[in-house]
Amino acid sequence: MTQIFKRTNLEEKQEPSARIDRRHVVCGAALGLAMQGLVAPGLSWAASSATRPSFNALWSAYPRSDRESFYNSLGGEWPSLVDNPSYRNTCAVRTSAALNGAGHLIPDSAREAVTGDGRNIILRVRSMHSYLKGLLGDQSWGMSKKPGDAVTLPTRTGIILYHANFSDASGHVDLWNGTQFAGQVDVWQGIELSGNSDMHDLDTAAFEIGIWFLK
Given a cut of 50, whether residue 82 has pLDDT beyond it is yes
Chain Cα centroid distance, residue 207: 17
Average pLDDT over residues 105-127: 97
pLDDT of 93 reads 97
Q: What is each CA distance from 49 to 45, 107, 123, 136, in whole angstroms? A: 12, 13, 23, 9
Give the mean pLDDT of the chain: 76
Give dist(CA 137, CA 75) in Å, integer: 32
Q: What percent of the chain has pLDDT over 70?
A: 68
**Chain segment 22-76, per-residue pLDDT in tens:** 333 332 222 222 222 323 333 333 334 357 899 999 999 999 999 999 999 999 9
Give dist(CA 191, CA 53) in Å, integer: 31
For residue 215, what pLDDT band results from cuts at 50, 70 and 90? very high
**Chain segment 135-182, per-residue pLDDT in tens:** 999 999 999 999 989 889 999 999 999 998 776 678 899 999 999 999
Q: Alpha-carbon Rg of the chain, whole angstroms?
A: 16
> What's the pTM?
0.73
Given a cut of 90, whether residue 190 has pLDDT beyond it is no
Largest CA-CA distance found in the chain, in angstroms, rounded: 46
pLDDT of 205 reads 87
Q: What is each CA distance from 4 to 1, 20, 21, 28, in whole angstroms? A: 9, 10, 11, 7
Average pLDDT over residues 95-109: 97
Structural domains of the chain sorted by starting position, each given as residue range(s) with its CATH number in brackets: 55-213 (3.90.1720.70)
Strands (DSSP E) contained in the chain are 113-114, 120-121, 141-144, 158-164, 171-176, 186-188, 191-193, 206-213
Three-state DSSP state, 172: strand
Give residues with Cβ within 8 angstroms of 181, minimum separation 6.
Answer: 160, 174, 175, 196, 198, 199
